[in-house]
């Protein structure tokens, strides 16, 4: 079967058109920034092909330069989507620089066919390699299947694009135009179509996982403070205590309660009360270590599980948090906040989280009964 480059180009444009138009319909409104970047990336890639095909008949310099710009923007947007799903990635500034230099160099050097073809392909291939690297590395999370799928699809396309740049840049007589039936060009067009399909599948899976994680967060986190809610604190806390029992690791549990919180609501209003709760939660999160758990148990009552910690570490945590709360609440709310705390040590014994929490709660009420603004060890 004889492959026709023009047919492959039109097929690519049609597939991208259908995909870019269907994504917003399938995903609906209110999607995350990462998902919107994915949608915009597909739309920019579709415009790339529409402009490239159109440049064969009219306004070659303008349309083809715009096509290169759209292709570069598409890769940048895909990078942002990946970063939104898996966290901060490397080489972002380099990707941004290549996005600018690719179309700029192409437009300036348009009169030199070999230069413009080589330049454009090398620049976009560099972007693809950066996005592939960002997808696969660093592996700071469990390596999900969609990351392998998208990363290797982009790697395949980047290599095909580099080969196309070498042929067009150094052997222009063998590759005289965009529609040339050169084997490298045909292989590149096939790689583009395969990447569109695999990349779309991978990004849809990434979006689905994001939605599932959002639903889990809604079930496990307190919407006002962003900390774990009671259910989340108990679920993750029980798992933490189970690990502590297996490895004979000591933990410390603290119960904290904002002092005279009813007065805050009565004197300043519930909106200020919500700001006070959010401020306290923020300072708790800033002062805890990786592996610690903090949650809002109910109302103005909070719980903290400090991992691999003894009472001395909990006392230090209490002192840091109390000092920060006094100064920050005065600056941000206009009045000082303080809290009472109960502390117990959760050793590697059969005790469950509920019983440890009850002991900490008893210590907390002793602190409140002793005049508040202090911590009592149970």
Tell me which of 128 and 236 has the higher pLDDT. 128
d(CA 32, CA 23): 13
- Clarify whether residues 145 and 199 are in a common domain: yes
Residues 237 and 300 placed together within one structural domain of the fold: yes
Task: Estimate the share of the chain in helix, then strand, then coil, as percent rounded to the nearest 5.
Answer: 70, 10, 20
Judge contact between 102 and 118, C-beta under 8 A: no
Least confidently predicted of 10-19, 83-92, 273-282: 10-19
Give the pLDDT band (50/70/90) at residue 101.
very high
User: Domain check: are 234 and 213 in the same one?
Assistant: no
Size of the chain in residues: 378
CATH number at residue 336: 3.30.70.270
- pLDDT score at 249: 75
Can you tell me whether residue 78 is helix, strand or coil?
helix
Quick: pLDDT tens for 66-99: 999 999 999 999 999 999 888 888 899 999 999 9
Q: Are residues 263 and 334 in the same domain?
A: yes
CA distances from 309 to 156, 306, 318, 351, 361 (A): 49, 6, 13, 17, 19
Whether 4 has a pLDDT exceeding 70, the answer reads: no
- Whether residue 142 is predicted with pLDDT greater than 60 in this model: the reply is no
* β-pair partners for 142: none
* Cβ atoms 250, 309 nearer than 8 A: yes
* pLDDT greater than 70 at residue 238: yes
Structure tokens at 12: 């690519």
Q: Cis bond leading into 138, ω under 30°?
A: yes
Predicted confidence (pLDDT) at residue 156 exceeds the cutoff of 60: yes
Asked whether the predicted pLDDT for residue 150 surpasses 70, the reply is: yes
Global confidence as pTM: 0.69
Domain closes at, from 218, 241, 259: 218
Active site residues per annotation: 300
Pair (188, 322) in one structural domain: no
* pLDDT (0 to 100) of residue 1: 45
Q: Domain for residue 224, yes or no?
A: no
270 and 169 part of one domain = no
Per-residue pLDDT at 347: 58
Confidence at residue 157, expressed as pLDDT on a 0 to 100 scale: 92
Tokens of 360: 């900490």
Q: Cα–Cα–Cα angle for 128, 129, 134, nearest 5°?
A: 95
Indicate whether 61 and 191 sit together in one domain: yes
What SS3 state is found at 347?
A: coil
Residue 345 has pLDDT above 70, yes or no: yes
What do you get for the CA distance between the two ends of the chain, in Å? 81
Q: What is the pLDDT of residues 317-338, one digit of tens each?
A: 889 988 999 999 889 998 989 9
Say whether pLDDT at 143 is over 60.
no
Lowest mean pLDDT among 113-122, 155-164, 183-192: 183-192
Dihedrals φ, ψ of 302, to 5°? -130, 155
The bridge status of strand 293-298 relative to strand 301-306 is antiparallel
Provide the number of structural domains found in the chain: 2
The H-or-E segment that residue 161 falls in is helix 145-170
Give the mean pLDDT of the chain.
86
**Rounded percentage of the chain residues whose pLDDT exceeds 90:** 30
Angle at 163 between CA 158 and CA 166, to 5 degrees: 125
| Most confident residue range from 64-68, 281-285, 308-312 | 64-68
Do 195 and 298 lie in one domain? The reply is no
Q: Mark whether 179 and 52 lie in a shared domain.
A: yes
Domain that holds residue 203: 5-218
- pLDDT average, residue stretch 236-241: 80
């Amino acid at each position: 079967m004889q492959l026709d480059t023009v047919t492959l180009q039109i097929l690519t444009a049609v597939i991208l058109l259908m995909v870019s138009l269907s994504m917003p319909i399938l995903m609906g409104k209110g999607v995350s920034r990462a998902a919107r970047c994915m949608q915009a990336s597909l739309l920019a890639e579709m415009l790339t092909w529409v402009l490239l095909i159109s440049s064969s008949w009219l306004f070659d310099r303008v349309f083809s330069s715009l096509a290169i710009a759209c292709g570069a923007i598409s890769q940048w947007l895909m990078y942002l989507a990946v970063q939104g799903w898996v966290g901060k990635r490397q080489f972002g500034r380099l990707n941004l620089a290549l996005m600018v230099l690719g179309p700029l160099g192409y437009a300036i050097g348009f009169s030199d066919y070999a230069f413009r073809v080589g330049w454009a392909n090398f620049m976009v291939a560099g972007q693809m390699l950066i996005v592939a690297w960002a997808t696969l590395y660093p592996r700071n999370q469990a390596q999900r299947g969609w990351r392998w799928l998208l990363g290797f699809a982009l790697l395949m396309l980047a290599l095909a694009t580099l080969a196309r740049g070498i042929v067009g840049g150094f052997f222009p007589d063998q590759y005289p135009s965009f529609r040339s039936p050169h084997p490298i060009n045909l292989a590149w067009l096939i790689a583009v179509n395969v990447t569109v399909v695999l990349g779309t599948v991978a990004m849809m899976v990434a979006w689905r996982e994001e939605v599932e994680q959002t639903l889990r967060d809604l079930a496990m986190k307190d919407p006002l403070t962003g900390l774990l809610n009671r259910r989340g604190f108990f679920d993750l806390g029980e798992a933490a205590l189970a690990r502590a029992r297996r490895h004979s690791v000591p933990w410390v549990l603290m119960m904290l309660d904002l002092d005279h919180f009813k007065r805050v609501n009565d004197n300043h209003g519930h909106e200020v009360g919500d700001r006070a709760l959010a401020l306290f939660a923020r300072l708790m999160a800033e002062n805890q270590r990786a592996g610690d758990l903090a949650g809002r148990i109910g109302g103005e009552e909070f719980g903290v599980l400090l991992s691999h910690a003894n009472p001395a570490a909990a006392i230090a945590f209490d002192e840091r948090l109390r000092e920060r709360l006094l100064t920050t609440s005065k600056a941000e709310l206009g009045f000082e906040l303080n809290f009472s705390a109960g502390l117990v040590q959760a050793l590697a014994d059969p005790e469950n989280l509920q019983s440890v929490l009850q002991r900490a709660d008893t210590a907390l009420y002793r602190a409140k009964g002793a005049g508040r603004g202090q911590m009592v060890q149970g």
